[in-house]
């Protein structure tokens, strides 16, 4: 069932909203026109890859290590790649690294990762697997029209590399597989070189990571006929190691790598857990509202690129949308559509509705949007807000509310700041300290009041 989309963007954007449900390119290399692939490996393999993509169903895999209990926006681009594969009729495989997560990928790292225990890894694996399934489900429900396509979407396959390493003996693995790796090639990888030249150097554990990722590909080739691996551009060295292993072990088999650009900020910083500015896909870590606002606030210089990477809107419509956006940039038409589609993909229709309700309440003065949120949703949206439980009392004033909620250290401070216009109830400035609280204005119908002091200090009052 396709969702009913709401927006201020008419009428071109209504057409765009439906067009992305039909976009499917059998030859995945055509996504290069969207800036989706940074490179292919081998770099001369484009004609052969096109032939394979257009001649029948292919299996394509990407890996996700459980280094945290949530994926983030940087991972989302790789997920988009797998969904493009699915839309084209190919078989998407997501590998979760129950084994490699214990080792830690050094790619793109300046220091070694903290070692995670097996219990933590197991918890993270379950969370990531659920996220992957949810994103694919949201895509099918919200961004794909099954009635317009003759064949159903190939299902997502999720595999855990701990399943095959559990049965491998160390000596047998080194004896049978180790002989196919060349130290010169492994040492030449940029991820290895940069770490060897660093002050802390590189541990043997991290150095072996590329061996295990290479073997993962070999295993998937044998079990799933998986000839394609997709990953961020920082994975190029690992993909090359896998290609070299397979070329020696399975001499008659062809395999290919596809690398995606790393998502960065306008300043060039990487969006990821390590960079300290992660935007998570877990709604409890980054709320649907925060995710929506993150993309809504993208600068004009970045939005066209992100529309091509994070939506399924056909390129002609993207170009037409950008022409309209250029005429009235203050309306942020392009950013709004980008934010809607990403939030739909990650959190589904309910998450988008929640994000829009909070946006309308905070920035458009529509307090009824806050009244439609339940307590967990408000806590999720205003992460870090102070929770306060109060008993309703007839005739309670604004000043009494502020003091009972402990918004101010002294009554003198409260009077001064409220009179100066620095106190808000449900996003409405209040300056009359004697004003009596009323239901529907100060106390929402969901039994909650949102207080704010200044710009950033939020208090959530739950009325008993």
DSSP at 67:
S
CA 45, distance to chain mean position in Å, is 30
Inside any domain, residue 2: no
Spatial distance between the Cα atoms of 97 and 237, rounded to a whole number of angstroms = 18
CATH number at residue 332: 1.10.240.10
Spatial distance between the Cα atoms of 311 and 342, rounded to a whole number of angstroms = 7
Spatial distance between the Cα atoms of 374 and 123, rounded to a whole number of angstroms = 27
- Beta-carbon count within 10 A of 294 CB: 16
- Beta-carbon count within 10 A of 32 CB: 15
Residues 105 and 166 in one domain: yes
Residues 146 and 223 in one domain: yes
Residues 327 and 430 in one domain: no
How many CA atoms does the CB half-sphere of 35 hold within 13 Å?
Answer: 14
Whether the Cβ atoms of residue 263 and residue 278 lie closer than 8 Å to each other = no
Inside any domain, residue 318: yes
Given 364, 398, 430, which residue is the final one in a domain? 364
Given 333, 364, 395, which residue is the final one in a domain? 364
Inside any domain, residue 267: no
Q: What is the pLDDT of residues 70-114, one digit of tens each?
A: 999 989 999 999 999 999 999 999 999 999 988 887 766 666 667
Q: What is the mean pLDDT of each run of 10 residues along the chain (464 residues)?
A: 44 56 76 93 93 96 94 94 96 95 75 78 96 97 86 95 91 86 80 77 84 95 97 88 92 93 75 66 92 92 94 94 93 95 97 89 74 81 88 94 96 96 92 93 90 91 92
Spatial distance between the Cα atoms of 268 and 280, rounded to a whole number of angstroms = 19
Residues 152 and 295 in one domain: no
Spatial distance between the Cα atoms of 325 and 296, rounded to a whole number of angstroms = 13
CATH number at residue 192: 3.40.50.620
Inside any domain, residue 426: yes
Domain count, the chain: 3
Inside any domain, residue 412: yes
pTM of the model: 0.84
Residues 257 and 130 in one domain: yes
Residues 247 and 303 in one domain: no
Identify the domain containing residue 409 by its residue range.
Answer: 384-463
State residue 14's pLDDT score.
58
Residues 317 and 194 in one domain: no
State residue 313's pLDDT score.
94
Whether the Cβ atoms of residue 337 and residue 16 lie closer than 8 Å to each other = yes
Inside any domain, residue 39: yes
DSSP at 262:
P
Pairing of strands 256-260, 39-41: antiparallel
Residues 251 and 293 in one domain: no
Given 229, 262, 295, which residue is the final one in a domain? 262
Residues 307 and 390 in one domain: no
State residue 1's pLDDT score.
38
Inside any domain, residue 4: no
Contacts from 393-398 at CB under 8 Å and sequence distance 24+? Answer: 395/436, 396/436, 396/437, 397/433, 397/434, 397/435, 397/436, 397/437, 398/423, 398/425, 398/430, 398/432, 398/433, 398/434, 398/435, 398/437, 398/442
Residues 339 and 256 in one domain: no
Cα torsion at 228, 173, 117, 347 (round to 10°)? 10
Angle at 261 between CA 259 and CA 264, to 5 degrees: 155
Residues 326 and 419 in one domain: no
Residues 351 and 427 in one domain: no
Inside any domain, residue 7: no
CATH number at residue 432: 3.10.290.10
């Amino acid at each position: 069932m396709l969702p009913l989309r709401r927006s201020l963007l008419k009428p071109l954007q209504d057409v765009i909203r439906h067009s992305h449900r039909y976009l499917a390119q059998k030859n995945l290399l055509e996504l290069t026109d969207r800036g989706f692939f940074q490179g292919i490996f081998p770099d001369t393999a484009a004609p052969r890859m096109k032939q394979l993509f257009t001649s029948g169903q292919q299996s394509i895999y990407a890996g996700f290590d459980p280094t945290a209990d949530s994926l983030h926006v940087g991972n989302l681009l790789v997920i988009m790649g797998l969904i493009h594969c699915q839309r084209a009729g190919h078989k998407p495989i997501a590998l979760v690294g129950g084994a490699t997560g214990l080792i830690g990928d050094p790619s793109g790292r300046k220091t070694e990762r903290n070692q995670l225990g097996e219990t933590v890894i197991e918890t993270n694996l379950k969370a990531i697997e659920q996220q992957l399934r949810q994103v694919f489900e949201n895509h099918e429900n919200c961004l794909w029209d099954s009635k317009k396509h003759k064949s159903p979407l190939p299902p997502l396959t999720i595999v855990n590399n701990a399943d095959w390493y559990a049965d491998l003996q160390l000596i047998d693995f080194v004896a049978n597989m180790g002989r196919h790796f060349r130290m010169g090639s492994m040492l030449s990888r940029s991820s290895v070189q940069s770490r060897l030249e660093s002050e802390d150097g590189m541990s043997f554990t991290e150095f072996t990571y590329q061996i295990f990722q290479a073997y993962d590909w070999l295993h998937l080739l044998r079990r799933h006929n998986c000839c394609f691996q997709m990953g961020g551009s920082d994975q190029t060295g690992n993909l090359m190691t896998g290609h070299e292993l397979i070329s020696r072990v399975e001499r008659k088999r062809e395999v290919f790598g596809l690398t995606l650009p790393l998502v960065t900020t306008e300043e060039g910083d990487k969006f990821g857990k390590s960079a300290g500015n992660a935007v998570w896909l877990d709604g409890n870590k980054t709320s649907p509202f925060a995710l929506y606002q993150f993309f809504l606030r993208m600068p004009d210089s970045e939005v066209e690129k992100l529309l091509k990477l994070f939506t399924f809107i056909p390129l002609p419509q993207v170009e037409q949308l950008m022409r309209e956006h250029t005429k009235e940039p203050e309306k942020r038409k392009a950013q709004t559509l980008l934010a809607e589609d990403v939030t739909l993909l990650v959190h589904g229709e309910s998450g988008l509705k929640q994000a829009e309700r909070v946006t309308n309440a905070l920035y458009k003065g529509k307090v009824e949007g806050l009244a439609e949120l339940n307590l967990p949703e408000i806590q999720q949206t205003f992460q870090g807000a102070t929770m306060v439980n109060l008993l309703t009392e007839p005739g309670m004033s604004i000043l009494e509310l502020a003091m009972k909620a402990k918004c101010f250290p002294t009554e003198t401070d409260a009077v001064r700041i409220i009179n100066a216009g620095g106190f808000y109830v449900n996003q409405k400035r209040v300056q009359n300290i004697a004003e009596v609280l009323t239901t529907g204005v100060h106390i929402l119908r969901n039994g909650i009041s949102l207080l704010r002091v200044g710009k950033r200090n939020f208090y959530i009052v739950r009325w008993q």
